[in-house]
């Protein structure tokens, strides 16, 4: 899914402008620098596994609190760089979609984990 479509699904409107990003690893640019650049530090400190995340998001013009509990086996590592604002989620068991964060099992199937029951269900349409 394109960044523009993802933005539209959360905000209900097209972005006013598109951002091109540049990715830098250590001192070397991996992609061409753009208007919003992301610096990936040469060294990261792994803090542990992230079990859940809460964040503010927009749906249909309204700000909502979103909460995602990662399924066991899909939990990303949370890592930090030495600089300010350098927090990263590292893992392959999840993806951002227009639905929000979606977990994927080891067979590549989209799944939904229910924290209270501990059950995992397959999702369709992914």
C-alpha angle 99-102-105 in degrees, rounded to nearest 5: 150
Residue-level pLDDT at 26: 67
Tens-digit pLDDT profile for residues 101-115: 999 999 999 999 999
Of the candidate ranges 10-14, 15-19, 80-84, 116-120, the one whose mean pLDDT is the lowest? 15-19
Tens-digit pLDDT profile for residues 43-64: 889 999 999 999 998 888 889 9
**Percent above pLDDT 70 for the chain:** 75
Residue-level pLDDT at 119: 95
DSSP 6: H
**For the chain, what is the radius of gyration of the CA atoms?**
16
C-alpha angle 123-10-54 in degrees, rounded to nearest 5: 75
Residue-level pLDDT at 98: 81
The overall pTM is greater than 0.95: no
């Amino acid at each position: 899914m394109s960044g523009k479509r993802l933005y539209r699904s959360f905000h209900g409107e097209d972005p006013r402008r598109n951002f091109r990003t540049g990715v830098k690893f250590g001192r070397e640019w991996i992609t061409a620098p753009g208007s919003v650049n992301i610096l990936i530090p040469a060294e990261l400190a792994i803090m542990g596994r992230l079990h859940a995340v809460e964040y503010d998001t927009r749906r249909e013009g309204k700000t909502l609190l979103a909460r995602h509990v990662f399924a066991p086996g899909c939990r990303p590592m949370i890592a930090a760089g030495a600089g300010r604002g350098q927090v990263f989620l590292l893992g392959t068991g999840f993806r951002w979609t227009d639905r929000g964060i979606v977990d994927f099992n080891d067979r590549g199937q989209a799944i939904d984990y229910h924290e209270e029951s501990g059950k995992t269900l397959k999702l369709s349409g992914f």
